[in-house]
Amino acid sequence: MKATSASLAVMTALVTSQLHAASSGNSTVSLGEVYVTPEASSTLRTDSILTSVDIMGSDMIEDKNVMNSWQLLGQMPGIQLTETGMGAESGKATFRAFNGEGYINGIKVLIDGIPSNVNSGNQRFVDMIFPLDIDYIEVVRGTNDPRYGLHNIGGNINYATRQGGNYADSRLTYGSFNTREMQLAIGHEEGNFAQNYLLAKQDSDGFRDHSNSNKYSLGGKWFLSNDEQTLRVGAIARLYHHQADEGGFLTREELRASRTDSPAKNGNDRSDRDMKHLSLHMDWQLNDDLNLSNKLYYNSYNDDRSITFTSYEPGNGPRQRRFWDEQQRGMLSNLTWRANDLLTLDGGINYEEQHNAYERRRFTFNVPTDFDVAPARIQNNDHYTLRNLGGYVQAVIQPTESLKVIPAIRVDKFTGNTNISSTNNGVTTTGKGPLQDYGWIEQPKLSVVYSVNDDIDVYANWGRTFQILTGNANPGYLVNGAGSYDPSINTGKEVGMKFRPFAGTETRIAVWQQDATDEVANMPAIDATVGLGETRRRGIDMQFTSQLNQQWTVWGSHAIQEAKVVKGLDGDNNSLKGKEVFSTPRYISNLGLDYRYNDDWRFGLQARAQGDYYIEEKNEAGKYGGFAVLDASVSYQLSASTSVDLQVKNLTDREYEYVWYDNVWWGPGQEQPMYSPAPGRSAYLSMNIKL
């Protein structure tokens, strides 16, 4: 189907209620211009069937200077950005009190509806896309979305890229730390054939010493429709390469001495990453009421990462070179039947098969370590598979124009095998085993939306999601007599209200809670699994967006959240009971202001803040990581096709950092916080040409 431009906002205002006129009872809040596909001739739109959905349009995306596209979500409500800043391992976006340092990966990520998490749940495939190629970003919070299973614990994020249209857009940027970026996006649509291309290149010396980054991305999309626009088939392909130095984490003393220094031991630390994507798409409107959608996909992730941890002492423990080789193949099929005005049925199946390999080499003490020499030992040489078969069905029942009820059920099953080899102290241990037999994991769900009047929608939802162990060894796989392990079941509930207090303004408030059984904090890269036990996450999300007049637009949000262990794995007396889940701030806030002086000049401000968080599971090492930063921008339209903009990040030059707890490499009694400082004030000048 041809996408229809629904320009439902002026400047950076939210999409007004007209976007959802076809589906009464709606709780979605949006920023910017959003392009939608007519609901009458496609599969169900996310915003028409789910609650607590946020959409950010391309005009809030295409002119933003970010090192990685996941950072764009910092503009959206309640999003925690974890900026690790270690070369290609840059960080990720999370929400609903799921942290982002790598241990608990609770957010499903999709690109054009294609699953795009690596095996651990991390979001590395997002780096393949650049802002100029993104049409909109869609965030679904909570446990009531039945479409996805694996990694869809606290919700999901879908990055929808541009498809169709006629344009030739380019953006050239130069800025702080010798940052150079070029983006070129081309779309050409003639008759029934549409093609889109992206070429992007980004180079930077980095904020810190030894933090150079060089990457490029190539993408192409080709879609063909029939004359009646009832059948659309196409393909999407992407290539991505990234080489980046890693400045390494700093101790407290090193941070106080210099925020930009890189210790000598990290002189050889770097990442060399390649990713590929290929997908085939078919959307077929069989008749006015029946729609079929199919996707086949292949994702490839290869990473060569050299890293020195914290110790200067002789030995080969902290000096590592790691290799990841992950191959994903899968399919998704969806069928939607609009039986009548009262009932719509929607269902789907998915299958994914992963073939993964992980190798970890250890190197002898040296400053800096030479990772090109023969390793002292190969600690890990592992190969493992993961297969997921899942399906769902949901009904959209609308007995009255004001009421919508959506019951759903999803089931997932997992199989796989592992073959691991580990060498320690000259002794090599091997093992083989199947994946834990989780059985069919059932996930019932229910959502209700009621329109009190044209200005007020109230909603509630309840649902279950799950967490399984990822990685390649115990206890996820039954190796060397490992015991059985049940999946962690998350049960979430939420009530909320979206209302329009006056013209041009929309607000939403939601109260939510999510309880998990047997939650696990999992870090496959260091073979560490921390059992947390039963956890409870809860919070309040508050947000608004308002177009005050033709010149002023303002938006903001404040998320209050808490994640605690309510019962440890070994009973009520477990030492973790009552402790906060680590790396989870208690609040996340943002505030944005946009002012159009006239048709040529535009000014913007955005403030972001988050609270401190505990950095380890026992909450004994203190709280760190809070910040409050202010970004500013100004743009000028030189002509109908050309504009320039200046963006200043961290305008007040605040000092803040990402902090994690090193309790592995220093030894008992020597554990300590480790810091990755964020950039200070930085500026970027860009030229935009749209033809």
Q: What is the DSSP string of 288-332?
A: TTEEEEEEEEEEEEEEEEEEE-S--SSSSSSEEEEEEEEEEEEEE
* DSSP-based three-state secondary structure for 68: coil
Question: Strand 53-57 vs strand 29-31: parallel, antiparallel, or unpaired?
Answer: parallel
**In the predicted model, is pLDDT for residue 22 greater than 60?**
no
Cα 604 to Cα 64, 151, 588, 634, 647, distances in angstroms? 12, 35, 20, 6, 9
Strand partners, 507: 499, 544
Strand partners, 411: 391, 442
Q: What is the rounded average pLDDT of the residues 606-634?
A: 94
Where helices occur in 18-120 by DSSP H, the ranges are 46-49
Task: Give the separation between CA 43 and CA 148, rounded to whole angstroms.
Answer: 15
Q: What is the pLDDT of residue 268?
A: 92
Strand partners, 237: 220, 278
Count Cβ neighbours within 10 Å for each residue of 181-192 and write b for 16 or more, e otherwise.
Answer: bbbbbbbebeee
Task: Give the separation between CA 445 and CA 459, rounded to whole angstroms.
Answer: 14
* DSSP-based three-state secondary structure for 18: helix
Q: What is the rounded average pLDDT of the residues 35-46?
A: 52
Nearest residue to 104 (alpha-carbon basis) of 689, 537, 679, 549: 537
Q: What is the pLDDT of residue 26?
A: 65
**In the predicted model, is pLDDT for residue 27 greater than 70?**
no
Q: What is the rounded average pLDDT of the residues 298-322?
A: 85
Q: What is the pLDDT of residue 39?
A: 38
Q: What is the pLDDT of residue 105?
A: 85
Q: What is the rounded average pLDDT of the residues 374-390?
A: 93
Nearest residue to 164 (alpha-carbon basis) of 99, 221, 242: 221
Q: What is the rounded average pLDDT of the residues 11-26?
A: 36
**In the predicted model, is pLDDT for residue 350 greater than 60?**
yes
**Low-confidence winner among 39-43, 189-193, 343-347 (lowest mean pLDDT):** 39-43
**Low-confidence winner among 18-22, 470-474, 548-552 (lowest mean pLDDT):** 18-22
Task: Give the separation between CA 435 and CA 417, rounded to whole angstroms.
Answer: 6
Q: What is the pLDDT of residue 32?
A: 59
Q: What is the pLDDT of residue 666?
A: 58
Q: What is the pLDDT of residue 159?
A: 96
Task: Give the separation between CA 495 and CA 497, rounded to whole angstroms.
Answer: 7
Contact in structure between 362 and 379 (CB atoms under 8 Å): yes
Nearest residue to 31 (alpha-carbon basis) of 594, 630, 631: 594
What is the domain count for the chain?
1
**Low-confidence winner among 7-16, 161-170, 383-392 (lowest mean pLDDT):** 7-16
Task: Give the separation between CA 136 and CA 162, rounded to whole angstroms.
Answer: 8
Q: Give the residue, 9 or 267, on which the prediction is more confident.
A: 267
Reported confidence tier of residue 17, pLDDT bands at 50, 70, 90: very low
Q: What pLDDT, in 10s, does the model give residues 80-103? A: 999 999 999 999 999 999 987 777
Q: What is the pLDDT of residue 669?
A: 65
Reported confidence tier of residue 38, pLDDT bands at 50, 70, 90: very low
Contact in structure between 201 and 181 (CB atoms under 8 Å): yes
The mean pLDDT of the chain is 89
Q: Which amino acid is at 616?
A: E
**In the predicted model, is pLDDT for residue 1 greater than 60?**
no
Instruction: Tell me which residue range forms the domain holding 502.
Output: 4-690
Q: What is the pLDDT of residue 190?
A: 95
Residue 11 is given by DSSP the state T
Q: What is the pTM of this model?
A: 0.93
Reported confidence tier of residue 660, pLDDT bands at 50, 70, 90: confident
Q: What is the pLDDT of residue 672?
A: 87
Q: What pLDDT, in 10s, does the model give residues 431-460? A: 899 999 999 999 999 999 999 999 999 999
**In the predicted model, is pLDDT for residue 243 greater than 90?**
yes
* DSSP-based three-state secondary structure for 534: strand
Q: What is the rounded average pLDDT of the residues 624-628?
A: 94
Q: What is the pLDDT of residue 100?
A: 78
Q: What is the pLDDT of residue 404?
A: 94
Share of the chain above pLDDT 90, in %: 72
Task: Give the separation between CA 50 and CA 457, rounded to whole angstroms.
Answer: 13
**In the predicted model, is pLDDT for residue 155 greater than 80?**
yes
Question: Strand 587-596 vs strand 552-567: parallel, antiparallel, or unpaired?
Answer: antiparallel
**In the predicted model, is pLDDT for residue 5 greater than 60?**
no
On the 0-12 / 13-18 / 19+ scale of CB atoms within 10 A, 597 is exposed
Q: Which amino acid is at 619?
A: N
Nearest residue to 433 (alpha-carbon basis) of 409, 416, 414, 451: 416
Q: What is the pLDDT of residue 315?
A: 74
CATH of the domain at 536: 2.40.170.20
Reported confidence tier of residue 195, pLDDT bands at 50, 70, 90: very high
Region of residue 647 (phi > 0: left; psi between -120 and 50: alpha; otherwise: beta): beta
**In the predicted model, is pLDDT for residue 124 greater than 60?**
yes
**In the predicted model, is pLDDT for residue 37 greater than 70?**
no
Task: Give the separation between CA 558 and CA 540, rounded to whole angstroms.
Answer: 8
Q: What pLDDT, in 10s, does the model give residues 526-577? A: 556 677 889 999 999 999 999 888 899 999 999 999 999 998 766 545 678 8
Structural tokens at position 278: 């290929």
**Low-confidence winner among 10-14, 157-161, 379-383 (lowest mean pLDDT):** 10-14
Reported confidence tier of residue 465, pLDDT bands at 50, 70, 90: very high
Contact in structure between 216 and 181 (CB atoms under 8 Å): no
SS3 string of 603-620?
EEEEEEEECCEECCCCCC
H or E segment to which residue 274 belongs: strand 270-287
The structure tokens 């834990």 sit at: 436
